[in-house]
Amino acid sequence: MSFEHRTVLLDEAVEALALQPSGIYVDCTFGRGGHSRLILSRLGAQGRLIAFDKDPHAIAEAEKISDPRFEIVHSGFVALKDALAARGIGQVDGILMDLGVSSPQLDDGSRGFSFRFDAPLDMRMDTTRGPTAAEWLNAAEEKEIAEVVRDYGEERFAKQVAAAIVASRGMAPIATTGQLAQIVAKAVRTREPGQDPATRTFQAVRIYINRELEELSLTLPQALALLAPGGRLSVIAFHSLEDRIVKRFMQDAATSDRLPSRLPVRASEIGQAPLKLLGKPIRAGAHEVAENPRARSAILRVAERTEAVL
């Protein structure tokens, strides 16, 4: 089946890269190719774009692009440095990261990401490797489940949710999204208006199964090291956990050596920070949100590599 995907902050994220026609760029999350196609349309004949994605469906979509300037890598972006090194690339002129889950992943009930459908509880972005959400939930210790739901879902009823999951699987294995949603609904006593009781738990399990925050934390330093001076890092986050990681990383990398305020040291003697923050965070406008409600939570942060030596 074909599922529509609307690329969030398409123009803003690509324009933030300040594309050079002959530059080398990376799209860390190909998805359905919205950002990649726009980048290619603005590159010259000598330009190059390397894209990454875990999802076999995204890889299939990327393989439809017949362009010698483009290459797709079937891997998560945590392999960024090694994959580029294998292609003889040591520096790039821009890196774009569009985090989170794509609309096709959410809207295809068979992928098991959403409680809107009763389907096998999978949740893997890469369906060719790793345990499914069902396999993990049926084997994990109650304490581990509670920690995941609390830390990755910011669920205040995490202990109750974990206890309910363990009690339910003791009677029958948890195999579908519908089962998990019903279990959570009974354990979560109150929820914000308009939010399903299972929202936070589903987010938490998905993040854990796909190592989303861990891989983001491991990849950002790689991106910084790969950027050539003047190169741009453009990152779109969709929830507070991942945005917090991006924000702190950029702020830390944009801060030069911190010394006591009254220490007699010249500004020229203080090391230059490797990143420079560019502007304020960008959010989707009212028109885009009206056209695509999933853009509501998106936040774009942009930084530029300086001449500083890492």
The answer to whether the annotation marks 34 as part of a ligand binding site is yes
Residue 33 annotated in ligand binding: yes
What is the Rg, in whole angstroms, of the alpha carbon atoms belonging to the chain?
Answer: 21
Q: Quote the Cα angle for 6-193-174, to 5°.
A: 75
Higher-scoring residue by pLDDT: 147, 272: 147
Q: What is the pTM of this model?
A: 0.90
List pLDDT tens digits, range 74-90: 999 999 999 999 999 99
- Fold observed for domain 10-103+212-305: Rossmann fold (3.40.50)
Task: Tell me if 112 is assigned to a ligand binding site.
Answer: no
Residues 6+ apart with CB under 8 A from 222: 80, 81
Given the candidates 1.10.150.170, 3.30.390.10, 3.30.750.210, 1.10.10.10, the CATH classification of the domain at 127-209 is: 1.10.150.170
Residue 172's pLDDT is 97
Buried b (16+ CB within 10 A) or exposed e, 132-152: bbbbbbbebeeeebbbbbbeb
Task: Give the pLDDT confidence score for residue 3 in this predicted structure.
Answer: 45
The pLDDT of residue 262: 54
Is 263 a residue whose pLDDT tops 70? Answer: no
Q: Is 47 annotated as a binding residue?
A: no
> Tens digit of pLDDT for each residue in 116-135?
778 999 999 998 999 999 99
Q: Could you state, in order of their start, the residue ranges of all structural domains in the chain?
A: 10-103+212-305, 127-209
The shares of helix, strand and coil residues in the chain, as percent rounded to the nearest 5, are 45, 15, 40
Rounded-to-integer distance, Cα 184 and Cα 195, Å: 13
76 annotated among ligand-binding-site residues: no
Which has the minimum average pLDDT: 27-36, 91-100, 108-117, 187-196? 108-117
